[in-house]
Amino acid sequence: MMSWSACCGLAATGLATSASDAPDVGAQWLPWMLLAAIVLAGPCVVTWLHHRHQARCRGLEGELTEVRGMLDAMDIAVLSVDREGVVRYINAAARDLLQLPSQPLSGQTLSDLSVDEAVSTFVKEARARDGAHRDERALAGNPGCEVVMLSEPVHSAAAGDIVLVLDDVTRLRRLESVRSDFAANVSHELRTPITAIQGYAELLVEQPGPADHAEVILRNARRLSNIIEDLLALARLEDSAQAQALVLSSVAIHDLLDAVARASEEEAQQEGVSLSVDCDDLLVCNGSRPLLEQAIGNLVTNAIRYGGGGSTVKLEARRVDPDLAAINVIDHGPGISDEHHARVFERFYRIDRGRSRQVGGTGLGLAIVKHIALAHGGSVSLSATPGGGCTFSLLLPLDDDTSE
């Protein structure tokens, strides 16, 4: 098949030759010659236009595939619906957020898919505002899930088509709540010893007081110092640069538990609590021994103080996976209600404020345990001890040489 330029050239050459060969015929044959040229060039023009159209379609398909790929890779949910509520497009994040099946959903309406009522209501409100709308709502079908919803009209499409963007801000709102609680709690925790120090110091200024006044001041000053030290420790653990710079070495877990038990023995005797250690042999982890002793020591101290006199606190370590060990601190005290399990590792979170102050502590011990575990690539959890009490489990990766 000739190209468009070749056909045009051939027709022009023919016309020129005919005109020179038969000058006397002249104009009477010119329309027929033009018609012949068009007939000859027509198929070439159609073919050329067809090829251009195919190339343009391939380009558009490639662009569309690229855009869909980018939308599917986004963490933010995106979907578009027409004026009848029919889904024209939905990305993977939107499927996960709205708990929709993975099969193609185009052509189905929001009501067919039983989309969360909060989304359906938002779409109706957006249509009443010509497509542009913004709000934050909780998903009824996903308790605790907060979503910022944004809609915009699709001006180049049929009237009534809108694009929805749903941003899951549940974690952000949770962090904001934790930050707010932290500010309130730290203010309360610092205000109590400061008030005591100020009051007793004023008594000593006005008149010489008994020795217990000075003891109260000293005790609360130490409490303030401990809170500040624990806050600094938490800041160091949360600093990614400092956490990565930890000096790690092979730590024998049995020796680690024995050292913590010896360090806690005096307080355990004062509380009438007996300590026991049960550890599988040859368990070795790669970590910072001082930090691991601090984490396990915090757990043991809590177990001694809250477990009750005459009870037993058990330290045990077991291999739970080929490359994972669980260090458990088990007590048989009054236990912790399930409603508090998810929050006990927050800063300054106290289950019984009066009891916590009576036994001492800064309210940061379990938060420090959590961040020490994270710094070692592990985790910490709380469960109820059968028969009453608590079991805190510290999961740590084992050293490569002992995990085989």
In degrees, to the nearest 5, what angle opens at C-alpha 175 toward C-alphas 171 and 179?
A: 170
Give the 3-state secondary structure of 243-255: HHCCCCEEEEHHH
The contacts of residue 3 (CB under 8 Å, 6+ apart) are: 44, 48
Which one of 188, 213, 340, 371 is the catalytic residue? 188
List the 379-384 sheet strands across, edge first: 274-279, 312-321, 324-330, 390-397, 379-384
Task: Tell me if 81 sits within 8 A of 98, measured CB to CB.
Answer: no
**Cα angle, residue 45 at apex, residues 43 and 48 outer, rounded to 5°:** 110
Beta bridge partners of 321: 324
361 and 305 in contact (C-beta within 8 Å)?
Answer: yes
Token digits of residue 263: 């360090």
Yes or no: say if 376 and 256 are a contact pair by the CB < 8 Å rule: no
| Residue labelled with tokens 């068009």 | 38
What's the chain's length in residues? Answer: 404
> Among 226, 227, 295, which Cα is nearest to 257's?
295
Cα–Cα distances in angstroms (integers) from residue 38 to residues 4, 47, 49, 52, 128, in the given order: 11, 14, 15, 20, 55
DSSP string, 151-211: EEE-TTSSTT-EEEEEEE-HHHHHHHHHHHHHHHHHHHHHHHHHHHHHHHHHHHHHS---H
30 CB-side CA count, 13 A: 8
Whole-angstrom distance, CA of residue 187 vs CA of residue 347:
12
Q: Any catalytic annotation for residue 188? A: yes
Catalytic residue IDs: 188
